[in-house]
Structure 1
């Protein structure tokens, strides 16, 4: 193998990987889930083997990247269509701090120690567990934190106001499908959800792109029409 062949194959590999990144979307860069991490490793290994193995030509690079990229694309499309498969491939967030209390069972389930939790909290400018009302370990390994109202950026303590409880928003609808488990966990059912939608002139769950509920604010709804109009604009 000479330098010209290496240069050409590197250039082809670079273009193919760049193309795959564009096709699969920006979320595969910013929010790397375990499935996407493994997929990226395999794709890089395929291209690397094709470049440095003298017995493998350009056809192998094209075929291997095409097939693997196609499988990843199909998986992405299935995730968008089926909510259960989305949770299986991407994983679901885990509530590791609930109502200000660290959930040891969730930490063990996610193979996380209290020291690792403290490190992730400090990366969110939280230096005490006592300041946290809710903390969610996302599927990509990052931590989302909802501080107690007393420790918010502009604190009620500074304004000499009595602290109010903080509530975690709960998603009820995604892509026209109700999340039954979330409804049951908050003490509601599909009939209640349907009644709430009728109050805002929405006749069907299928017409809703996204809906979330928060105890102190009620139901927030984004209809399919609004979401589509926003994308088109």
Structure 2
């Protein structure tokens, strides 16, 4: 008898889940927002717990999944009708890099650090921050990247461009902390680093948000926010003089 009940519950649960997914839409499968991610988990838990709880019958399985599916459909319907409601439920992308500059406030707002940003860039086949003009963190946790024009993909054979040796960029300073092991690994020392920073009017390591070395392209440095403001003020003063 238990086998019969379990078989019926499985069949009912299977078709109920199928109907809800078809009715609500494919977004619950792709989980393109935090809400759909949580909704998919809860929907699976409702069905799984109901199947293995002998005190719950077929009626309760259908009832719980119908209520949950109805709520999902209501939220999706309101999201399509009202833009403000859509913004609350789904959220909106955050610009992590603007005009080639990493937005530290956006990183902090999204509870991210430079390491995590670099990891996401690597997963998108972008090995250096210097390549990025704009980077957006989507609501599902993925990133969208617009590269600077000179880093956008072109077919070398179309322009008869000779192949060059490919080098991996190395992060030397991150959040004001010098990564000495990385510097020594590429054959440089402290005096070289100070010289490179002095060429960009930076004296203290703590004034550097991120510094990255790429063979053949030199040192890329983004100062911290306070340092950027100071450098801009000095530039204006020199212009007036």
Give the match's secondary structure for 2:71. Answer: helix
Corresponding pairs, count: 159
Deviation at 1:36, TM superposition (A): 0.9
Deviation at 1:11, TM superposition (A): 2.1
Deviation at 1:159, TM superposition (A): 5.7
Match for residue 8 of structure 1? 8
Match for residue 41 of structure 1? 41
Give deviations 1:2-41, integer Å, cap 9, x for gaps.
2222222122212111211111112222243111111111
User: Residues of 1 paired with 2:140 and 2:91: CA distance?
Assistant: 8
Q: Is the 8 A contact 1:97 1:134 kept in 2?
A: yes
Q: Is the 8 A contact 2:13 2:47 kept in 1?
A: yes
User: Residues of 1 paired with 2:69 and 2:150: CA distance?
Assistant: 48
Gaps of 5+ in 1: 161-233
User: Residues of 1 paired with 2:2 and 2:116: CA distance?
Assistant: 48
Give the match's secondary structure for 1:95. Answer: strand
Match for residue 26 of structure 1? 26
User: Residues of 1 paired with 2:159 and 2:131: CA distance?
Assistant: 18
Give deviations 1:110-165, integer Å, cap 9, x for gaps.
11121111111111110101100000000111100000000001189x969xxxxx
| Structure 2 residue 137 is the aligned partner of structure 1 residue 137 | yes
Q: Is the 8 A contact 1:97 1:135 kept in 2?
A: yes
Match for residue 153 of structure 2? 153
User: Residues of 1 paired with 2:71 and 2:92: CA distance?
Assistant: 22
User: Residues of 2 paired with 1:126 and 1:14: CA distance?
Assistant: 42
What value does the CA root-mean-square deviation take over the aligned residues? 1.9
Deviation at 1:88, TM superposition (A): 0.5
Give the match's secondary structure for 1:108. Answer: helix
User: Residues of 2 paired with 1:97 and 1:155: CA distance?
Assistant: 26
Give the match's secondary structure for 1:46. Answer: helix
Following superposition, which runs of at least 4 residues in structure 1 exceed 6 angstroms of deviation?
none
Give the match's secondary structure for 2:12. Answer: helix
Sort the Cα spacing of 1:34 and 1:86 in 2 relative to 1 into closer, same or farther, 3 A. Answer: same
| Structure (1 or 2) with the larger CA radius of gyration | 2
Map 1:1-233; keep pairs closer than 5 Å. 2-154=2-154
Deviation at 1:69, TM superposition (A): 0.3
Match for residue 225 of structure 1? none
Q: Is the 8 A contact 2:28 2:39 kept in 1?
A: no
Q: How does the TM-score come out when normalised to structure 1? A: 0.64
Q: Is the 8 A contact 1:149 1:155 kept in 2?
A: no
User: Residues of 2 paired with 1:155 and 1:31: CA distance?
Assistant: 35
Q: Is the 8 A contact 2:95 2:136 kept in 1?
A: yes
Q: How does the TM-score come out when normalised to structure 2? A: 0.62
